Structure 1
Amino acid sequence: MTVATAVASAAVFVWLGMVLAISFLEAPLKFRAPGITIELGVGIGRLVFRALNTAECVLAAVVVVCLVALGGSTPAAAVVLMAILVVVLVLDVAVLRPRMDRRYTSGNVSDAMPRHSLHLWYVGLELVKVASLVILGISALTHLPA
């Protein structure tokens, strides 16, 4: 296994673990904690997801650099999966999160606040991200140059 393949594999699986732990475990569970209001939970979520997205951007850059380092031996499927991941990450960071942040900072957050369709889009994109990371991670372990 080349260094680039090993680093790409590690980065993909670290990224996958972070997304699963934060998006699908921490985010919904924090609202079940005693004394947590919607406003407080959303405030915590904004900080956590900003940190997650920063880490994701770093990990995405690491994977892209590794795929570029592999050059012509990188399978087309890995390139397509990485492109999907970059698009999803850009949509998360540049489109959805700013819109959700504006909703929060507008003062319209309360315990009676209904779930917004932006959250459904975010969850949908997170599912695409998880599927892409799983496939890319397996591909990196089995199809990238050894």
Structure 2
Amino acid sequence: MTAYRRSSATAMVAVAACTILFALSFLATPVKFLADGVPIEHLLAVGRVTFRASAASEAVLLVLLVILAPGRSRIVACSVAALLAFQWLVLMPELDARTLARMSGRVMPSSGLHGWWIALDVLRIVLYAAIARAAIARAMMRVGKTPPAANDLERGSPTAI
């Protein structure tokens, strides 16, 4: 695989992981609670399945990133994997127990665990974006171009295309 293709593949995988994480955590999860007439127990059951599926797909993409990403980007990908593992091994058991209790009809006091989960999701999104940005910059350098400056994009400069 050429360096250009490897960089391009790294960028695509990072963007895919970032997109899945954002779409499921910040769009699908809150929106499902807006459904009228659906019992909260059913919504929580759907959420449990959705989170497991998103974690599995993200784990596959992370394995690909660790394989594809060079140097510091590989270290960042490993950091994302560590964050995901922390969320699932430390936070998720307690969150899952709370969800199961709520599904059985118990009223649960509020917890800061959701805030921690959200903060770590945001951090993972930022790290995926950093991996993608670095990979795109590497790919552009491989074809003799450098990434355009942000102000070039705003002015519509032909060099930004």
- TM bucket (normalised to shorter chain) is 0.7 to 0.9
The whole-number CA distance in structure 1 between the counterparts of 2:111 and 2:38 is 19
Residue in structure 2 matched with residue 57 of structure 1 by the alignment: 59
The answer to whether the 8 A contact 1:11-1:63 is kept is yes
Alignment of 1:1-146 (within 5 A): 1-67=3-69, 74-76=70-72, 78-105=73-100, 107-109=101-103, 110=105, 113-143=108-138, 146=142
* TM superposition outliers: structure 1 runs of 4+ over 6 Å: none
Structure ID, larger Rg: 2
- Out of 42-51 and 96-105, give the one that drifted further: 96-105
The answer to whether the 8 A contact 1:20-1:130 is kept is yes
The answer to whether the 8 A contact 1:60-1:86 is kept is yes
- Give 1:126 shift: 0.3
Unmatched segments (≥5 aa) in structure 2? 143-161
TM-score (norm 2): 0.76
Unmatched segments (≥5 aa) in structure 1? 68-73
| Number of matched pairs | 138
The answer to whether the 8 A contact 2:15-2:128 is kept is yes
For the aligned residue pairs, the C-alpha RMSD in angstroms reads: 2.0
Cα deviation code 1:5-36 (max 9, x no counterpart): 22211111011111111100010111111023
The whole-number CA distance in structure 2 between the counterparts of 1:63 and 1:27 is 25
- Out of 41-50 and 91-100, give the one that drifted further: 91-100
The whole-number CA distance in structure 1 between the counterparts of 2:92 and 2:137 is 34
Cα deviation code 1:80-130 (max 9, x no counterpart): 32122011111122222222112223x344595454221111101001001
2:125 maps to a residue whose letter is V
The answer to whether the 8 A contact 1:30-1:36 is kept is no
1:97 maps to a residue whose letter is M
- Out of 4-13 and 108-117, give the one that drifted further: 108-117
TM-score (norm 1): 0.83
The whole-number CA distance in structure 2 between the counterparts of 1:27 and 1:36 is 14
